């Protein structure tokens, strides 16, 4: 067993994400906004967890802290056994390159690059060999059903196709955790449904863990569990789909549902 395999085996029993008493306050003085307050929950490995709550409830703030785009004001977050909240800016950039991938509501593609070039971008940043990169790009475009559209730029693709490019790009470096922030928010109902089904399938196929914020009942239904925020606090989730997902309750009871 290599050192890396040993480390993976040790981590296998731990949650992929652990959020402990996290708060995020923006601004100062009378301008202060408490986006998150004392939030705690775990995301077990290999699960798809939906993060729900009204606009302004703190979903984006929470996902940004977990993925290392932002830092909480208080509390501790670990991702794949690494304490994200203790990392330097540079190491958080490394985390986003190697461990975590984001999918955003607005797709976030580079307009000047083709679909294939967008998908290959994370591998360029990691200096993957050209031949390996080209092969993986072809596989990923095939996975999301866009082989025919590989040379088109984002502006020449529909919203659903753009989001599929973004999903393929997110998978490029084989992240362990996929974070998607309202990935179907800009899509019509049917396209959103198709993108959700794709997300669920690729997550399962790649053995990944995913945390996906959504307003979409369809996504809540396919998720293994749901975490609900209201005004920056976790609230108990009485969703029946939650039952029987191997969840465990930890932390103090006022913090609500722990996945
Ligand atoms: N950069 C910021 N500066 C000030 N307030 C912010 C910032 N980001 C978010 N907020 C505030 O924090 C709260 C939660 O926002 P957000 O996390 O975006 O919620 P959601 O994604 O659920 O809509 C809102 O009141 C929002 O206005
Ligand atoms: Mg948001």
Paired strand residues for 102: 179
With a 6 Å cutoff on the Cβ, whether 110 touches ligand 1 is no
Q: What is the mean pLDDT of the chain?
A: 87
Q: What's the confidence (pLDDT) of residue 247?
A: 39
Residue range 88-129, pLDDT digits in tens? 989 998 888 889 999 998 999 999 999 999 999 999 988 889
Distance from residue 234's CA to the centre of ligand 2 (Å): 15
Residues 6+ apart with CB under 8 A from 109: 118, 154, 162, 165, 166, 169
Give buried/exposed letters for 128-149 (b at 16+ CB in 10 A, else e). beeeebeebbeebbebbebeeb
* Structure token digits, residue 111: 């307009």
Phi, psi of 60 (to 5 degrees): -65, -40
* Structure token digits, residue 60: 């984006």
Kindly list the structural domains of the chain, giving each domain's residue range(s) and its CATH number in brackets, ordered by start: 44-64+87-258 (3.40.50.300)
Q: What's the confidence (pLDDT) of residue 9?
A: 66
Locate tokens 């690494």: which residue? 82
Residue range 125-156, pLDDT digits in tens? 888 899 999 999 999 999 999 999 999 999 99
Q: Which residue has the higher pLDDT, 94 or 78?
A: 78
Distance from residue 259's CA to the centre of ligand 1 (Å): 23
Q: What is the mean pLDDT of residues 192-206?
A: 87
To test the pocket of ligand 1, the residue of 25, 35, 235 to mutate (highest count of ligand atoms within 8 Å of its CB) is 35
Task: Tell me the pTM.
Answer: 0.87
CA distance 210 to 31: 34
With a 6 Å cutoff on the Cβ, whether 53 touches ligand 1 is yes
Distance from residue 148's CA to the centre of ligand 1 (Å): 39
With a 6 Å cutoff on the Cβ, whether 162 touches ligand 1 is no
Measured from the alpha carbon of residue 106, the closest ligand is: 2
Contact 99, 80 (CB under 8 A): yes
Percent of the chain with pLDDT strictly greater than 90:
64
With a 6 Å cutoff on the Cβ, whether 35 touches ligand 1 is yes
CA distance 155 to 90: 32
Q: What is the mean pLDDT of residues 155-182?
A: 94
What one-character-per-residue DSSP string does 232-246 give? Answer: TEEE----GGGTTS-
22 SS3 class = strand
Distance from residue 198's CA to the centre of ligand 1 (Å): 28
């Amino acid at each position: 067993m290599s050192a890396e395999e040993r480390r993976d085996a040790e981590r296998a029993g731990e949650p992929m994400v652990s959020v402990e008493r996290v708060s995020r306050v923006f601004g100062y003085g009378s301008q202060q906004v408490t986006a998150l307050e004392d939030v705690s929950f775990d995301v077990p490995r290999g699960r798809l967890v939906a993060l729900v709550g009204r606009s302004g409830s703190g979903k984006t703030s929470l996902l940004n802290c977990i993925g290392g785009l932002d830092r909480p004001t208080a509390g501790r977050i670990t991702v794949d056994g690494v304490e994200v909240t203790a990392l330097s800016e540079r190491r958080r950039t490394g985390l986003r390159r190697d461990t975590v991938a984001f999918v955003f509501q607005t797709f976030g593609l580079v307009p000047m690059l083709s679909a294939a070039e967008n998908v290959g971008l994370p591998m360029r940043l990691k200096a993957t060999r050209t031949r390996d990169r080209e092969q993986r790009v072809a596989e990923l475009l095939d996975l999301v059903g866009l082989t025919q559209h590989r040379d088109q730029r984002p502006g020449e693709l529909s919203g659903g196709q753009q989001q599929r490019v973004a999903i393929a790009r997110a998978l490029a470096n084989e992240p362990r955790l996929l974070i998607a922030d309202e990935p179907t928010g800009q899509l019509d109902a049917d396209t959103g449904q198709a993108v959700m089904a794709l997300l669920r399938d690729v997550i399962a196929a790649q053995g990944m863990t995913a945390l996906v914020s959504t307003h979409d009942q369809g996504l809540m239904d396919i998720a293994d569990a749901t975490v609900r925020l209201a005004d920056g606090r976790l609230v108990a989730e009485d969703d029946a789909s939650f039952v029987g997902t191997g969840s465990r309750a930890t932390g103090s009871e006022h913090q609500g549902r722990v996945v």
